[in-house]
Amino acid sequence: MPDLLNTSLTGMLAFQRALDLTGHNIANANTPGYSRQVAEFTARIGGGSGSTYVGGGTQISTIKRMYDALLVEQLRISATGQARFSALNNLAGRVDSLLADADTGLNTGLQNFFNTMQDVANDPAEIPTRQALLGEADGIANRFRSLDQRLDTLENEVNERLTLAVDDINRIASQIADVNDKIAVAGVGARPNDLLDRRDALVLELSGLVSVSTTIQDDGAMNVFVGSGQSLVLGTNVQRFGVRASEFDPTRVSVVYEGASGSTPLDTALSGGTLGGLLEFRSRVLDPSRQSLGQTAVAFVNQFNTQHNAGMDLRGNLGGDFFSIDPPRVLYSSNNTGGGTATAAIDDLGAFTGADYVLEFDGASYSLTRADNGQSIPLTGSGTAADPFLADGMSIEVGGAPAAGDRVMIRTGHNAAGTIENLISDPRSIALAAPTRAQSSLANIGDATVSQLTVVDAEDPALLTPAVIEFTSPTTYSINGAGNFTYTDGDPIVVNGTSVTINGVPAVGDQFTIEPNYGASGDNSNALLLNDVQSTGVLDGGAISIGESYGQLVASVGGTAHQIQSGLAAQNVVYTNAEEAVLSKSAVNLDEEAANLIRYQQAYQAAAQVVNVTKTLFDSLIAATSR
C-alpha cells in the first residue's frame, strides 16, 4: 500500500508542477520572445515484486522549451534586413521629398529666376524689373543654400543616430555577456529556459541594429560576431564599438571597433540593421546627392558668371561676378605627419564631377583616387602653380613638405551649394548689354551690312578699344588703318575679342566701327545669352545643362527611394513570415493552455482519488483486523 500512496503522490506532485508550468505559460502569453514550455512526463521505475514488475508513478523528466534554432536564425536575418530598409526608407524618403518638392526644390527657384531674366530682357532699362531679378537671384542662392543646409542637417542626424546605435549595440552586448554568465552558472543541464529566451530576445534586438552571427560555446555561452568577423561578445567578455571623428572630416562620425590592437574603422565592413542602413544611406544617397547638388551649383555659378563677365552694365562697366561660390574644399587627414599643403580649383566644367577625391603622397609622387569607389584618376601636370595637376576638371596645386603616406581629401561638390552668395545688390550693375556694338557708317556706299556681334574673349584687355574696319577694296579691308586682310562675305572678323560678321558687297572707303556699347540701356543681348545658361549643355562634356543636372539628381534619388521602398515592402513580408513561423512554433496558445489546465487538473484530481483509495484500502484493512 505505501507504494500506491507514493505513486499517487508522484502524480500529484508532477501534475501540480505541470499546472504551475501552464500558469507560467498563460502568464507569458504576451511576453515577446517567450518560448512556451512543455512538461515531459516519464514513468518512474518501481521496485520488483516477485515475477511482476510494477512502476513507481510518474515524474517530469524535462521542461522542454519549444524552440527552433533555424527559425530564430531566419527571424534574426530578416530583422536585420527590415531594420536596414526601414532606416534607409525613412531617410531617403526625406531627401526625395526635399529635392522634388516645389516649395523646397530647386526647379521652381531656377525657373522663376530665368523667367524674371526674360522679363528683364524684355525691358532691360527698367530698374524695378532689374530689382526683381536681384530678388530672384537672392532666392535662387537661398534655395541652393537651404537645400544644402537641409542635407547637412540630415548628415548630422545620421551622426547622432549612429552614435545612439553604437551605444545600443554596446549596451546589448553587455547584457548578452551578463546572461551568458548566468547561463554558465546555472549549468547547461539545468536548461535555464527563460534565460535562453532572454538572450535570444537580446540577440534579436541586436540584429535590428547590425548584422550579427553567433556560435554557442560548450558551456552554453553565446559568442556574437559582427562585420567582417569582429567579435562583439566572447563568453562573458565584451569588445566595445565606438564612434570617432572620421579621418578627414571632424564633423563626420565614423564607426570604429575598439579592439585589442587599437581602433579600426568599420564604416565599410558593417552592413544590415539600423547601423548598416544609416551608413548605407550616407554613402548611397546623402553623399551623392550633396555632390550632385554641389556640381549643379558650381556649374550654375561658373556659367552664369562667365556670361555675366561678358556683358556691360547700365553704367558702362563690364559685368562683375554675379554669384560667388567656394572653391573645392581641401581636408587634411588627421593622420598626416608632414606639412604638405594643397589647393584646388575648378578648371573644366565638362569634366567636373562634384565627387570627393583623396590625394596621397607616397614619398616621391602624388596619386589621386575617387573617395567613393576607389577609382584611380590619372594626374597630368606637376602640381606647381605654373603647371598644376589636372584631373576630372580640377586643377590641384601642392606645396609644403608632405611626409610619405600623407593624404588630403578634396571635396569638389560636397558643401559647394551651401556657399553660394549673390554678389550684386545694385540693379544697375546687372550686365544685360553686350560690351561692344558694331555700326556701319551712314556714309557707306556699298551694300554690306554688319551683324552677329559676339564677344569671343571678354577678357581681352583691348575689348573696349574702338576699332574701325575700313574697306580698301571690295575684297580687302584694314583694321584701324593697318593691315590688308582679305574679305570673304559672311566670314567672322575678330577684333579685340569681339567677332562681327559683314555680309554683302562693300565699296571702297566703307567703314564699320566696333565700339564700346556705352549708353545702350535698351540692349538685351547679354540678357538673352544669360538666359541660355539654363539650357546650355555644360556638364559631362557639354551634354548636360544645369536644369537637366538637377533633374537627374531628383530622378536618381527618386529611383533609389523607390527601390528602397519596394525593398522595405519585401523585407516586411519576409520578416512577418519569419515572425509567424517563430510564433507558431514557440508562442503560447491560450486554448491549448486552457485544455492543459483541464487535463492536468483532472489528472491531479484522479491522483488525489488514488490517495483516497489508499486510505479506503487501509481503512478496510484496519476494520478487518480490529474486530
Sequence-distant (≥ 6) Cβ neighbours of residue 310 within 8 angstroms: 318, 319, 431, 435, 455, 458, 526, 529
* Residue 609, number of CB atoms within 10 A of its CB: 11
d(CA 578, CA 576): 5
In the complex, the smallest distance separating the C-beta of residue 135 from other proteins, rounded to whole angstroms, is 16
For 541-571, give one letter per residue: b (16+ CB within 10 A) or e: eeebbbbbbbbbbbeebbebbeebbebbeeb
In the complex, the smallest distance separating the C-beta of residue 599 from other proteins, rounded to whole angstroms, is 12
Q: What Å distances lie between residue 571 and 73, 75, 81, 508, CA to CA? A: 15, 11, 6, 84
In the complex, the smallest distance separating the C-beta of residue 560 from other proteins, rounded to whole angstroms, is 8
Minimum CB distance to other proteins smaller for 24 or for 244: 24
Minimum CB distance to other proteins smaller for 365 or for 577: 577
| DSSP secondary structure of 437-472 | EEEE-TT--S--EEEEEEES-TT-TTTTS-EEEEEE
Minimum CB distance to other proteins smaller for 520 or for 607: 520
In the complex, the smallest distance separating the C-beta of residue 316 from other proteins, rounded to whole angstroms, is 12
d(CA 536, CA 303): 9
List of E strands, 171-247: 212-216, 222-226, 230-234, 237-238, 241-245
In the complex, the smallest distance separating the C-beta of residue 453 from other proteins, rounded to whole angstroms, is 9
Which residues is 213 bridged to in the sheet? 225
In the complex, the smallest distance separating the C-beta of residue 620 from other proteins, rounded to whole angstroms, is 37
Sequence-distant (≥ 6) Cβ neighbours of residue 428 within 8 angstroms: 127, 130, 313, 314, 315
Nearest 5°: phi and psi at 623? Answer: -60, -40
In the complex, the smallest distance separating the C-beta of residue 459 from other proteins, rounded to whole angstroms, is 23
Q: To 10 degrees, the CA torsion angle through 6, 7, 12, 18? A: 130
Minimum CB distance to other proteins smaller for 149 or for 439: 439
Minimum CB distance to other proteins smaller for 358 or for 432: 432
> Hunting for cell 578627414 — which residue is that?
248
SS3 of the chain: helix, strand, coil, percent, to 5: 45, 25, 30
In the complex, the smallest distance separating the C-beta of residue 61 from other proteins, rounded to whole angstroms, is 23
In the complex, the smallest distance separating the C-beta of residue 121 from other proteins, rounded to whole angstroms, is 7
Minimum CB distance to other proteins smaller for 129 or for 419: 129
State the residues that interact with other proteins by CB under 8 A.
Answer: 29-30, 36, 92-93, 96-97, 99-100, 102, 105, 107, 111, 115, 118-119, 121-126, 433, 437-440, 442-445, 450, 507, 517, 519-525, 528, 531, 547, 551, 554-555, 557-559, 561-562, 564-565, 576, 579-580, 583-591, 594-595
Minimum CB distance to other proteins smaller for 149 or for 584: 584
Minimum CB distance to other proteins smaller for 38 or for 164: 38
Beta strands 339-346 and 329-332, pairing class: unpaired
Minimum CB distance to other proteins smaller for 216 or for 445: 445
- Amino acid residing at 479: I
Sheet with 394-401, edge to edge strand ranges: 339-346, 394-401, 389-391
Minimum CB distance to other proteins smaller for 235 or for 551: 551
In the complex, the smallest distance separating the C-beta of residue 95 from other proteins, rounded to whole angstroms, is 10
In the complex, the smallest distance separating the C-beta of residue 515 from other proteins, rounded to whole angstroms, is 9
In the complex, the smallest distance separating the C-beta of residue 138 from other proteins, rounded to whole angstroms, is 20
353: helix, strand or coil: coil
Sequence-distant (≥ 6) Cβ neighbours of residue 253 within 8 angstroms: 158, 159, 162, 163, 243, 244, 245, 246
d(CA 123, CA 113): 15
> 448 and 511 in contact (C-beta within 8 Å)?
no
Minimum CB distance to other proteins smaller for 79 or for 438: 438
Minimum CB distance to other proteins smaller for 454 or for 565: 565
Q: Is 495 exposed, middle or buried (0-12, 13-18, 19+ CB in 10 A)?
A: buried
